């Protein structure tokens, strides 16, 4: 018997696509649906605020000039674009402030891919809220499982490497694809899978765009599959599939228990508009200031000891360059200096004028970073020591912060964050408009048409 060695004995895309094609609203656990609404609220809100971030209006204008008017709204504006372009522009805004949620176990920024992609298509097709929520759950579960299945982290930015494939599958659920068509969409999207953490390390403008590209490419792949375009079926385990080109996956972790166990509720919601690697240090400074009444003037120097993952991403010296906002968001030195001088870290504290304030830059030079080489530590523990001019040594170690899966923000805190974001950005909503939009998202499952989100806005 002849066996075609080009075909894998197992192909991970098959069980993933089968599960996606069979998922329906009634079968999704309540916890997943609640998390989906929280994630969509948070992403839309931070995208609204991010519409005014440095570089975002320029890229919005570029796409509006280059594209015909479509049926998918650009957040925080009255303009609209075709679904793929809207997914990119809105994904860019959602990523711009580094205020978006994080799938904590995998460090993947899933929702700045999933929500912009799904909302763009749902609006353009007038799809009901229940199906939008179902597709959202599918996309997040695939992201979580693929992220957990990664065996090595060689520098890929997995939010945008998995992003097009996951977004294509999620849009396939939204549009009612069968399993084979979902696999086709995933196969088309595989050609666009890419992204590196180098742009994060160098704090370049393009770090805002990687997830946005993924959202757009996933939408385009699904629409191509809908039109009958074929893609490779053996996306992950083929002879030139994902594992051969990118990184080995634990197929059992990705596929086992689909539908019986969900990993996608493991999300962290951010309190600060900054790379998550900075949050423990900011929290530590706030704690020390509250306990000891120390001020920036009292500080001789500060030492931050953190895991290698943290120090590699945010530990290099703070040097504002082409984009001061990104430089600040990826600098623990800036984060600590700002927390000492201004308390915490707000959206206003990453505005270029705030970042470039000379006193803050001088204070950041007195922040030293040390690496804790303990294996397997990702974000924690982080130990911050303030050495005062009076000779005091004030120390605290942070192992957990608000917003983690086991220390979640309550509904009121999430709503307050969303309200603050919706009342900022390029076109701030009025308090009444913000309340109305938050309310519609809370009852999304009752909307017969996703376009109803924008009533009177």
| pLDDT per residue as tens, the chain (457 positions) | 444 556 677 899 999 999 999 999 999 999 999 999 999 999 999 999 999 988 899 998 898 887 778 899 999 999 999 999 999 999 999 999 999 999 999 999 999 999 999 999 999 999 999 999 999 999 999 999 999 999 777 789 999 999 999 999 999 999 999 999 999 999 999 999 999 989 888 878 788 899 999 999 999 999 999 999 999 999 999 999 999 999 999 999 999 999 999 999 999 999 999 999 999 999 999 999 999 999 999 999 999 999 999 999 999 999 988 788 889 999 999 999 999 999 999 988 998 899 999 999 999 999 999 999 988 788 999 999 999 999 999 999 999 999 999 999 999 999 999 999 999 999 999 999 999 999 999 999 999 999 999 988 8
| DSSP one-letter code for 233 | S
d(CA 261, CA 259): 6
CA dist 80 → 45, 65, 83, 167, 356 (Å): 18, 12, 9, 20, 34
| DSSP one-letter code for 351 | S
Domains 13-271+427-454 and 276-398 share a fold: no
From the CB of residue 316, how many other CB atoms can be counted at a distance below 10 Å? Answer: 17
Contacts (Cβ under 8 Å, ≥6 apart) of 438? 41, 415, 418, 419, 422
Domain definitions of the chain by residue range = 13-271+427-454, 276-398
How distant is the alpha carbon of residue 248 from its chain centre? 23
Query: Which CATH superfamily is 276-398 part of?
Result: 2-methylcitrate dehydratase PrpD (3.30.1330.120)
Q: What is the pLDDT of residue 1?
A: 40
Q: What's the maximum distance between 2 C-alpha atoms anywhere in the chain? A: 83
Q: What is the pLDDT of residue 66?
A: 74
Contacts (Cβ under 8 Å, ≥6 apart) of 291? 394, 396
Buried b (16+ CB within 10 A) or exposed e, 412-450: eebbebbbebbbbbbebbeeeebebbbebbeebbebeeb
Look up the pTM and report it: 0.92
Sign for the pseudo-dihedral over CA of 440, 444, 446, 447:
positive
Reply yes or no: is the peptide bond before residue 259 cis, omega within 30 of 0.
no
- Classified by CATH at the fold level, domain 13-271+427-454 comes out as 2-methylcitrate dehydratase PrpD (1.10.4100)
CA dihedral 214, 215, 218, 220 (to 10 degrees): -110
| DSSP one-letter code for 388 | E
């Amino acid at each position: 018997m002849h066996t075609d060695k080009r075909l894998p004995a197992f192909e991970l895309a098959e069980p993933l696509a089968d599960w996606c094609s069979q998922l329906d609203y009634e079968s999704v656990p309540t916890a997943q649906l609640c998390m989906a609404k929280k994630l969509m609220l948070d992403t839309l809100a931070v995208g609204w605020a991010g519409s005014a971030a440095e570089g975002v209006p320029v890229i919005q204008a570029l796409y509006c000039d280059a594209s015909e008017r479509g049926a998918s709204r650009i957040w925080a504006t009255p303009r609209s674009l075709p679904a793929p372009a809207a997914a990119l522009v809105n994904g860019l805004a959602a990523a711009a402030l580094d205020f978006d949620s994080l799938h904590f176990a995998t460090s993947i920024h899933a929702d700045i891919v999933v929500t912009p992609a799904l909302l763009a298509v749902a609006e353009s097709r007038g799809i009901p809220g229940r199906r939008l929520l179902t597709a959202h759950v599918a996309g997040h579960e695939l992201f979580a499982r693929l992220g957990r299945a990664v065996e090595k982290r060689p520098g890929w930015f997995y939010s945008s490497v998995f992003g097009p494939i996951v977004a294509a599958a999620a849009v396939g659920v939204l549009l009612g694809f069968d399993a084979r068509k979902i696999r086709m969409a995933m196969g088309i999207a595989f050609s666009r899978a890419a992204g590196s953490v180098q742009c994060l390390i160098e704090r370049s403008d393009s770090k805002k765009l990687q997830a946005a590209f993924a959202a757009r490419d996933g939408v385009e792949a699904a629409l191509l599959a809908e039109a009958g375009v074929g893609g490779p079926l053996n996306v992950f385990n083929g002879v030139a599939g994902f594992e051969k080109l990118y990184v080995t996956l634990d197929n059992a972790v990705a596929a086992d228990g689909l539908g019986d166990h969900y990993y996608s509720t493991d999300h962290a919601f951010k309190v600060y508009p900054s790379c998550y690697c900075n949050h423990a240090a900011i929290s530590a400074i706030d704690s020390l200031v509250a306990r000891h009444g120390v001020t920036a003037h009292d500080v001789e120097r500060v030492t931050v000891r953190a895991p290698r993952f943290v120090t590699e991403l945010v530990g290099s010296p703070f040097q504002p360059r082409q984009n001061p906002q990104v430089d600040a968001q990826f600098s623990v030195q800036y984060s600590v200096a700002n927390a000492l001088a201004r308390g915490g870290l707000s959206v206003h504290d990453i505005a270029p004028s705030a970042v470039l304030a000379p006193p803050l830059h001088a204070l950041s030079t007195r922040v030293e970073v040390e690496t804790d080489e303990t294996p397997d530590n990702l974000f924690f523990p982080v130990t911050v020591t303030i050495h005062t001019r009076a000779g005091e040594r004030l120390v605290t170690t942070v192992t957990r912060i608000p917003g983690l899966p086991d220390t979640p923000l309550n509904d009121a805190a999430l709503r307050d964050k969303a309200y603050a974001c919706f009342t900022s950005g390029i076109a701030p909503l009025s308090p009444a408009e913000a309340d109305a939009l938050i309310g519609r998202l809370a009852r999304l499952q009752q909307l017969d048409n996703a376009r109803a989100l924008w009533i009177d806005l």
